[in-house]
Amino acid sequence: MSKVLFISKKRNDDRKVNIYWNYKRLDQNEEIKYSGIYLDSKFNFNAHIEHTMATLITLINKLARTAKLHWGLGHKALETIYEGAAVANLTYGAPIWVEA
């Protein structure tokens, strides 16, 4: 499904654009996901950061529940699992959004 994202650096620029594909009007969204990166209409990557944090909170909660089931895992092993999961999520696409 195709979507339209109007990007503007102006603070209150919420124009609606009419773009058609095969005689059907495309939906205009405030944010879209493209290759795992969330882009928003102000191009400030707030949407990407919010989605990434929500994903990490869910992931850390699942890992914490799993760790409780396996108390035999050492502190260092759990730390490695947390770091591996968190770093991979946090740094995905960083060259694109890091300046934001």
Number of domains in the chain: 1
Structural domain including 28 reads 3-97
- 85 pLDDT band, cuts 50/70/90, is confident
Question: For residue range 18-48, what is the model confidence (pLDDT) as tens digits?
Answer: 888 899 988 888 888 888 888 888 778 888 8
Residue 81, helix vs strand vs coil: helix
